[in-house]
Amino acid sequence: DGGITQSPKYLFRKEGQNVTLSCEQNLNHDAMYWYRQDPGQGLRLIYYSQIVNDFQKGDIAEGYSVSREKKESFPLTVTSAQKNPTAFYLCASSRESGVHSPLHFGNGTRLTVT
Amino acid sequence: EDQVTQSPEALRLQEGESSSLNCSYTVSGLRGLFWYRQDPGKGPEFLFTLYSAGEEKEKERLKATLTKKESFLHITAPKPEDSATYLCAVQAKSYNTDKLIFGTGTRLQVFP
């Protein structure tokens, strides 16, 4: 079955360490996205990529970095510069960017930084 | 400022008790409005896209409607398996096509 795989499901890190969250899709989608979900807030866009080797900052990109070397993969690195990294991170993809292509989400990675 | 507000925050229903969830939006030009369902610990699952006032979409016990200021997700004769958080998201013309503004969701619990 086609879908989006995020790993790991749970991740624990010490403050000051960088951590990379994995996102792989086999839907042959061009666009991929990273969102952050916090209690009581709507999903917020971190980064998105419409095509391989290109990506754009979302609303809350500070302290995060991404790469898009392959169509299937869009890893997110949470750096030590991110002031409040503990959150639920969701990766998504869409067939193409735009209103006519709804997002397909992975099942998330819950990151806890202490 | 573009904004999406969902109400109520939480809703408890008896099985079979129909109700509606609200998503009101303030955006400068609507491209589209999306409804998603999210189960605990999972990613959101796409339900509907609505593009213009007056449009309606249906899927099993769910029906989504759209006006110029808000959208409703009507749930008819809900079952316990309909329990989830329902998210609304809006794509506005003032942004590039990749920006969605999400509401905070309505947490629905349906009891047998």
Report pLDDT digits (tens) over A49-59: 999 999 999 99
Of residues A2 and A28, which shows the higher confidence score?
A28
Kindly determine whether residue B44 and residue A103, on different chains, have CB atoms separated by under 8 Å: yes
Length of chain A counted residue by residue: 114
Of the residues A9, A96, A103, A110, the best mutation for testing chain B's interface (the one with the most B CB atoms within 10 Å of its CB) is: A103
Mean of the per-residue pLDDT values for chain B?
94
Supply A94's token pair. Answer: 């869409």
Local confidence band at B96 (pLDDT 50, 70, 90 cut-offs):
low
Quick one: pLDDT at residue B93?
76
Report pLDDT digits (tens) over B37-92: 999 999 999 999 999 999 999 999 999 999 999 999 999 999 999 999 999 999 88
Mean of the per-residue pLDDT values for chain A?
94
The residues, any chain, with a CB within 8 Å of residue A80's CB and separated by 6 or more, are A15, A16, A17, A18
Of the residues B7, B59, B98, the best mutation for testing chain A's interface (the one with the most A CB atoms within 10 Å of its CB) is: B98
Average pLDDT value for residue range B31-35: 94
Kindly determine whether residue B100 and residue A103, on different chains, have CB atoms separated by under 8 Å: yes
Q: How far does the CA of residue B33 sit from the closest CA of chain A (Å)?
A: 9
- Distance CA(B58)–CA(A12), nearest Å, equals 41
